[in-house]
Amino acid sequence: MKKISAIAILALLAFTACKNGEKSSDDQIATDSTDTETVTTDTPVGDTSRNALDWPGVYSDTLPCGDCPGLLFDIQLNDNNTYALSLKYLEKQETANKYTGTFTWDDSGNVITLDANGDHKKLKVQEHSLKMLDKFGNPEQGDQSDYIIKKID
């Protein structure tokens, strides 16, 4: 009788041990739902103007000028981080001043700085446009705050 009781107790323990290791299908669905939510709510990492926008191309606009009708500002940005800049003061110059060189991206990947040939100009790369920044990388103030150069090609 003692042997039968011992065998019955061992069988009961083995059965409950196996039962505890199984998850019900409801528990599994809840776990899967939680995992899916975590994956879908993650924010994409690393989206910057440099890697998310179609920034290479030609940008052009006439910017305000204090003593002339305007400054024709044309710049071509190339995907190898080179540029060609053309500046012409309307009604003051027959031909434009032309500069070529390289530019660098800031750590945020949103602002480029032209080399010395381009007078270290800083430009914020935006969707289909460039915004002129001051030498510290801050938006221009006053009349110059609207210096936006539109992408034309």
- Rounded to an integer, the average pLDDT of 104-129 is 95
90 and 121 housed in the same domain: yes
**40 CB burial (10 A radius; 0-12, 13-18, 19+):** exposed
9 and 64 housed in the same domain: no
The amino acid present at 106, given as its one-letter code, is D
CATH of the domain at 90: 2.40.128.640
Question: What percent of the chain has pLDDT above 90?
Answer: 55
Q: How far apart are CA 65 and CA 15, in angstroms?
A: 88
**Residue with structure tokens 């042997």?**
3
- Rounded to an integer, the average pLDDT of 98-113 is 97
**Over 90: is that where the pLDDT of 14 sits?**
no
Q: By three-state DSSP, how is residue 104 classified?
A: strand
28 and 54 housed in the same domain: no
26 and 8 housed in the same domain: yes
- Split into its structural domains, the chain has a count of 2
29 and 71 housed in the same domain: no
56 and 101 housed in the same domain: yes
Q: Which domain holds residue 34?
A: 2-40
Q: Is the pTM of this model over 0.85?
A: no
The kind and range of the H/E element at 148 are strand 148-151
